Copies of this chain bind each other. A is one copy, B any other.
Amino acid sequence: MQKYYYLCSVNEYSSILLTNAVNTFSSLPGTGRKTALRYALNLLKRSDEEVEAFANTILRLKSEVHYCRLCHGISDTEMCPICLSHNRDHQTVCVVENIQDVMSIENTGQFNGVYHVLGGIISPMDGVGPADLEIDSLIARVAPENIKEIILALPTTMEGDTTTFYIYRRLSSLNLPLRVSQIARGVAVGNELEYTDEVTLGRSILNRTEYNGIQNH
């Protein structure tokens, strides 16, 4: 308890500048005060030019970044390279929560369609409703009947399922000849059944797929 008191004191770092830097760095996600201090001391060891370049990169990222007007992913130009590509299937749209998910799916090399980045998922606990997300723009994108399939690739959490269901309902009300799918849920490749949670295992039996002698992976 005594230690905790010390760590919370204002003059902890014998310098207000250092305290401010630690406070600033520890505002980053998943970063504690010890890590923040390491960051600050690491920057102090660098040259003036390096620290200026560090700060400028952050400022430029914020001031010059663009969001693709079609998929709402981060881009340097008005439209991102994926949305502009002629080699991609523009009739298949994969709906994801954020840009990290785009990268994860791209890394699999299994998808050749385009994306739609919602910028979050519906989460009443965090005050995020449908209007805060790029759902209206998804509906607007689908409406001209140029899209064949929407793949909903959202997290398999309660919030993810809520968002999936909400988008499904909105899409259904359009009465378009559109296939709406969601990514498969089941036992992860390489996992033992013994250590798979009950809900996943139960669902994987209900949603079993035809076996034709071909290994999936």
List residues of A whose CB falls within 8 A of some B CB: 2-3, 6-7, 11-18, 20-21, 24, 27-31, 35, 37-44, 46, 48, 51-66, 73-76, 80-82, 98-100, 102-103, 106-107, 109
Asked if B65 contacts A15 (CB within 8 A), the reply is yes
Chain B residues whose CB sits within 8 angstroms of the CB of A100 once the complex forms: 37-38, 41
Asked if A14 contacts B58 (CB within 8 A), the reply is no
Q: So how many copies of this chain end up in the complex?
A: 2
A contact face: mostly helix, strand, loop, or mixed: helix
Contact pick for A17, options B11, B40, B76, CB 8 Å: B76
Write the chain B residue with the least CB distance to A63.
B48
**Interface CB pairs A-B, < 8 A, 27:** A2-B109, A11-B81, A13-B74, A13-B103, A14-B75, A14-B76, A14-B81, A14-B102, A15-B65, A16-B76, A17-B64, A17-B76, A20-B60, A21-B57, A21-B58, A28-B38, A28-B42, A29-B39, A30-B35, A37-B100, A41-B98, A41-B100, A43-B58, A52-B62, A55-B55, A55-B59, A58-B58
